[in-house]
Amino acid sequence: MRKHHIAFDFLVFDNINELSAEDKSLMKVAVESRKNAYAPYSNFCVGAAVLLENGELVIGNNQENASYPSGLCAERVAVFQAGAKYPGVAIIAIAISAASKNYVVDRPAAPCGNCRQSLSEYELRQRRPINLLLMGEKGEVFKCPSIADMLPLGFNNSYLK
């Protein structure tokens, strides 16, 4: 038997104002997108903004459904839209902001497992990392250098040969 340990490094900023101008601008787009989320069941609104290599910004927000599995998270809405509208254009960064209608979200909310898997596929396809910025309504902002870091031992196309 052998024991392995998996860990990754990420940056923690005290608030949005500590981000670079480019990251701050991207996060502000995610915050605005969050305001249009359709979340009547969970009351948990998420907005995402995707920065593409060609300079385009693509947004997404969560879209719930009374049949819960039928909804879609903000991150997937944004990257699927980016893939459909700008096929083959690399994703540089994704900013994600979460808020609740019932309480203040004062810490970053990480993508769910389905979103991590979907984002990982884009990172693998483009063969370069995607920066991930995470924020609640206020407080700390996390910056992760790669989706792969957030999904260790992830399933990918190498298993389908």
Tokens of 97: 């902001």
Q: In the predicted model, what is the mean pLDDT of the chain?
A: 96
**DSSP three-state, residue 75:** helix
CA distance 96 to 73: 11
pTM greater than the 0.85 cutoff: yes
Three-state DSSP at 3 gives: coil
Per-residue pLDDT at 158: 86
Looking at residue 129, its pLDDT comes to: 97
Q: Enumerate the active-site residues.
A: 75
Domain over 11-151 is classified CATH 3.60.21.10: no
